[in-house]
Amino acid sequence: MVGLLGNKTKANHIRKLQKDDLQLTLIVGLVSITCIGVFLLPSEIRNILKVRHGVFNPIACITASFVHDNSLHLGTNLCAFLFTTLPLYLINKRINEQKYFLISLLMMFLVLPLLNYGILFYLGIYKSIEYGFGLSLVCSGLVGFTIPSLTLYFKRKLEKFNSIFF
């Protein structure tokens, strides 16, 4: 009976991991498709999605993360997004903090642009008509997120090491 319960626990653990992996795949896929879709829109519509000088619009703060003006900008941002998101996810998965990572990623898409553009708007730093940094702002947030992720990872490793030897 104990072996059977252990197998059920393993099966539940595998299902949970697969669910989290699927969530990440959906997020990365949705972000990529959205960025490509917005890029294929006419430039007039893309300009509407950017943050405008003199008018604070919270929706535009969020949509500006998906606007890219040229294919090089789009390609480099998508590559940077993939190459920062996947290793960070694997680090957080390793220490069983997938939900922490997914919530933080969501905050980088919703809260970080509002803070960034809100502060720029409040300080009056806007010099051109519209702003849209694409995924650059989110990728910068992900790069910054490596510090707490690696800190947690090494803290857990050190705790495990200390429990074995001390």
| pTM for this entry | 0.78
Q: What is the pLDDT of residue 139?
A: 92
Looking at the chain, the whole-number percentage of residues with pLDDT higher than 90 is 46
φ, ψ at 52 (rounded to 5°): -105, 145
Asked whether residue 131 carries a pLDDT value surpassing 70, the answer given is no
Rounded to whole angstroms, what are the CA distances from 3 to 7, 10, 12, 145, 166?
A: 6, 11, 14, 40, 32
Of 105, 70, 112, nearest in space to 91 by CA: 105
- What would the pLDDT profile of 132-145 be if each residue is shown by its tens digit? 678 888 999 999 99
Task: Give domain limits for the chain.
Answer: 2-165
pLDDT for 107: 92
pLDDT band at 149 (very low <50, low <70, confident <90, very high): very high
pLDDT of residue 3: 52
* Mean of pLDDT values over 24-30: 92
Q: What is the mean pLDDT of the chain?
A: 84
**Residue 52 neighbours by CB under 8 Å, 6+ apart:** 60, 129, 130
pLDDT-derived band of residue 148, with 50, 70 and 90 as boundaries? very high
Which pLDDT value is given to residue 23? 87
